[in-house]
Amino acid sequence: MNAADWKPNAPDGAREAHRFIDYFIRNGVTKGSVLKSVELTYARSNVYFDDVYTYFEKTGAFNVACTKGCAMCCHTMVSVVPPEAFYLANYIRTEFDADTSRKMIERIVAHDAEHRGKSGAARHVGRIACPMLDPDTHLCTVHSARPLTCRSMHSGDVKPCQVAFDTRDAYHPAPSHALFFKNTQAYYDAFGTALDQSGLVVEPLELNAALATIFTGKNVFVRWLKGENPFEEATAEAALTDAPPPS
Ligand code: SF4
């Protein structure tokens, strides 16, 4: 292929699932292997997104307008798969000093108690910020461990994002590019297929409900590894029911 025709290939969910299946056969499905699988997925995603940005820069196919500290999209619902929730919970427990970690956990649990079950649209309308967003800098405090859904968020123009935020119109569209979303979908599919084969429950969860379940429940990771579903009340579907109608 001519270098000028190069285009990043979005990950394929079925192919990534085979890689995951092979990985879990070789390593077993344990706390360590599940956390490592997320770490490897985020590393692969970083490479892929670097390629996507390079492709856009070279071709002008799309202009990403997002800038540091622009966190309007951090006022909505974020869905994750259980391995991501365990990975982020572990990050919050181990990557901060004890006081910072304790305060962050308290903030997440309180946030969940107040907002459990709210849809992304309701959170947008209420301008309900993610509890991991720094209120002063508007930066993500868990950036390197943020979920795939957050990694895929982008906009080709900040103006419609600002209009949506200012007018609280959750359905005001902003330009986007499919290459970003394909990565998240592929890895969601891969985690689902690979871990389903091991008898584990993998369904989309609402981020804060999943974290609060982990922080307040007993042996949540162990129970999930045994095939139980400790996240029955933390599903993303449960949070889609109160979406206000489009204007
Ligand atoms: S985890 Fe980080 S990037 Fe994702 S919504 Fe929260 S603050 Fe924003």
Domain locations along the chain: 11-239
Stretch 18-31: mean pLDDT: 97
Q: How do residues 83-92 score in pLDDT, each as one tens digit?
A: 999 999 999 9
The mean per-residue pLDDT over the stretch 209-217 comes to: 98
Output the pLDDT for position 138.
Answer: 97
Give the chain's mean pLDDT: 94
Which residue's CA is the nearest one to ligand 1's atom 2?
140
Quick one: which atom of ligand 1 is closest to the CA of 88?
Answer: 1
Distance 102 CA to ligand 1 centre (A): 18
Regarding the beta carbon of 210 and ligand 1, being less than 6 Å apart is answered no
Can you tell me which atom of ligand 1 is nearest the CA of 132?
Answer: 7
Residues 101-117 have a mean pLDDT of 97
DSSP annotation of 4 reads: G
Q: Is the model's pLDDT at 3 over the cut of 90?
A: no
| Pocket of ligand 1 contains residue 150 by CB under 6 Å | yes
Q: What pLDDT score does 1 carry?
A: 61
Residue 124, pLDDT > 90, answer yes
- The confidence score (pLDDT) of residue 244 equals 55
Average pLDDT for 131-150: 97
Helix (H) or strand (E) holding 94: helix 82-94
Q: CA distances (Å), 214 to each of 80, 182, 191, in order?
A: 13, 28, 19
The yes-or-no verdict on residue 238 having pLDDT over 90 is: no
CA of 149, closest atom in ligand 1? 4
Position 78 scores a pLDDT of 96
- Tell me how far the alpha carbon of residue 66 is from its chain's centroid: 17
Give percent of the chain above pLDDT 70. Answer: 94
Output the CA 4–ligand 1 centroid distance in Å.
35
Q: Tell me which residue of 202, 199, 181 sits closest to 191, measured CA to CA.
A: 202
Q: Is 78 in the pocket of ligand 1 (CB under 6 A)?
A: yes
Mean pLDDT to the nearest integer, 211-236 = 97
Q: Which residue's CA is the closest to the ligand 1 atom numbered 5?
A: 74
- Residues contacting 55, CB < 8 A, separation 6+: 6, 7, 8, 61, 179
Which helix (H) or strand (E) is 205 found in, with range? strand 205-206
User: Ligand 1 atom 1: the closest Cα is on which residue?
Assistant: 146
Q: What is the pLDDT of residue 6?
A: 85
Separation in Å, CA 208 to CA 16, 129, 152, 156, 172: 27, 11, 18, 27, 25
- The token pair that represents 195 in the structure block: 């871990």
| Measured distance between the N- and C-terminal CA atoms of the chain, rounded to whole angstroms | 47
pLDDT tens-place string over residues 169-209: 989 999 999 999 999 999 999 999 999 999 999 999 999 99
Q: Give the Cα separation of 175 and 239 in Å (integer).
A: 25
Amino acid 2: pLDDT: 65
Whether residue 66 has its Cβ less than 6 Å from ligand 1: no
Whether ligand 1 lies within 6 angstroms of the CB of 133 is answered as yes
Whether ligand 1 lies within 6 angstroms of the CB of 104 is answered as no
Q: Is residue 239 very low, low, confident or very high in pLDDT (cuts 50, 70, 90)? A: low
* Cα of 1 from ligand 1 centre, angstroms: 38
Output the CA torsion sign for 38, 75, 189, 184.
Answer: negative
pLDDT value, residue 236 = 87
Coil vs helix vs strand at 85: helix
- The residues with which 235 forms a beta bridge, in sequence order, are 205
Atom of ligand 1 nearest to the CA of 130: 6
- CA–CA separation, 27 vs 209, rounded Å? 29
